[in-house]
């Protein structure tokens, strides 16, 4: 089974775009309607989303240490995975893909 970084990044980018689309636009308030007592506060969610995206993009696409450990275990004959766990993870992944 192969997990691509692009799939994870694309899902996160779609979520970020969806969240940003729901945010109010910065230019929606006209200056003539503002009085000295009026106050405008902008949400920092788009900044948080941008930080998360940059952190995800900085992650390596392959965790070489895990690959090496599994490769060694397979070569030594010590790699053992329960079929039930594989089936459970496949079903969970499929259901999450359908939901998202």
Predicted local confidence at residue 68, as pLDDT: 95
pLDDT of residue 91: 92
Q: Each residue of 4-22: pLDDT tens digit? A: 555 556 666 677 677 666 6
Q: At what angle do helices 45-58 and 5-22 cross, to 10 degrees?
A: 170
pLDDT for res 44: 82
Beta strands in the chain (DSSP E): none
Residue ranges covered by each domain of the chain: 1-61, 62-100
Are 23 and 43 contacting, i.e. CB atoms less than 8 angstroms apart?
yes
Tell me the per-residue pLDDT of 34-89, one tens digit each, with 9 for 90 and over. Answer: 566 777 777 788 889 999 999 999 988 888 999 999 999 999 999 988 889 999 99
1 vs 84, which has greater pLDDT? 84
């Amino acid at each position: 089974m192969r997990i691509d970084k692009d799939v994870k990044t694309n899902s996160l980018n779609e979520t970020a775009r969806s969240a940003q689309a729901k945010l109010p636009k910065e230019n929606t308030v006209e200056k003539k309607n503002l009085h000295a007592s009026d106050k405008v506060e902008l949400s920092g969610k788009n900044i948080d989303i941008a930080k998360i995206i940059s952190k995800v993009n900085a992650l390596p696409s392959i965790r070489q240490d895990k690959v090496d450990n599994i490769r060694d275990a397979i070569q030594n004959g010590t790699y053992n995975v329960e079929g039930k766990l594989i089936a459970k993870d496949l079903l969970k992944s499929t259901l999450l893909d359908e939901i998202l």
